Structure 1
Amino acid sequence: MTDIVIYHNPACGTSRNTLALIRNSGIEPHVIEYLKCPPTRALLAEMIERAGMRPRDLLREKGTPYADLGLGDEALSDDALLDAMMDHPVLINRPLVVTPLGVKLCRPSEAVLDILPDPQLGAFAKEDGEVVVDASGRRPA
């Protein structure tokens, strides 16, 4: 059994599509609704590092207090950005997926295919109808 964790927001279409792609590989992941149960600061910092990102790369602007908090200021330290994400979990972009193959911010949702250890079991189309996996379980050319 493969252990996969998705930091998920059920109100987000990209997050729902990512979760569905994980399930399309036959895996039922651990689903963490990060707005209700955010990761600890240490865990968030570790996931950012494992993903090869910086905290700024994980910041979400749309629908958040990003502008009000002045988070666009490039002089802000990584620690200050992590503090902001801890104070306002909505600033954490999603979905963030952890698998044995790595950690990835899955935007677009099909980015999760790069870190899933198991192949897709069949065709998959996003909620908007875009086909991202064909009937043979492969990405269309």
Structure 2
Amino acid sequence: MKATIWHNPACGTSRKTLALLEETPGVELTVVEYLKQPYEADKLRQLFEAANISARDALRLRGTDAAERGMTDWDDEAIIAAMAANPAYVERPFVETEKGVRLCRPMEKVQDIL
């Protein structure tokens, strides 16, 4: 099974999810360090739709100025534009397999798509 994780090595949840994927037999893993290789807006839309969440649901508040900027009140397209410009606004980690997409917070959510 192919799996892609959008990973931030500084994030404990992301590291634990990555380790779980690496330890799962039969997983062919692609790791995208999204802070070095930022999301495109279309990819964000696709991930959110596949995970059945809104951009607001995927907005990272902790460690960012998103709340101070009032981003929680923005519409999805404005949030996605901000996320594409600054990927630190995207909560992490996202994992995609042929079984679906999950925002893996908590990390155990990855089990749904393995």
**Structure 2 length-normalised TM:** 0.94
1:95 corresponding residue in structure 2: 93
1:21 corresponding residue in structure 2: 20
Number of aligned residue pairs: give it. 113
- Tell me, which stretches of 5 or more residues in structure 1 are unaligned? 117-141
Larger proportion of helix: 2
Q: Distance in 2 between matches of 1:88 and 1:38?
A: 8
Letter of the 1:14 counterpart? T
SS of equivalent to 2:96: strand
Higher Rg: 1
Q: What displacement does 1:114 show?
A: 1.1
Q: What displacement does 1:45 show?
A: 0.5
- Tell me, which stretches of 5 or more residues in structure 2 are unaligned? none
Q: Does 1:66 align with 2:70?
A: no
Which has the higher relative contact order, 1 or 2, with Cα contacts under 8 A spaced 6 or more apart?
2
Question: Quick check: 1:34–1:89 contact (8 Å CA) kept in 2?
Answer: yes
1:85-104 alpha-carbon deviations (Å, 9 max, x no partner) = 11211000000000010000
Q: What displacement does 1:72 show?
A: 2.5
2:36 corresponding residue in structure 1: 36
Following TM superposition, the consecutive aligned residue runs of length 4 or more in structure 1 with deviations greater than 6 angstroms are none
Letter of the 2:30 counterpart? H
Q: Distance in 2 between matches of 1:72 and 1:46?
A: 20
Once the two structures are aligned, what percentage of the paired residues are identical?
A: 47
Q: Does 1:10 align with 2:9?
A: yes
Q: Distance in 2 between matches of 1:102 and 1:15?
A: 18
Q: Does 1:80 align with 2:78?
A: yes
SS of equivalent to 1:29: strand
Question: Quick check: 2:13–2:106 contact (8 Å CA) kept in 1?
Answer: yes
**Structure 1 length-normalised TM:** 0.76
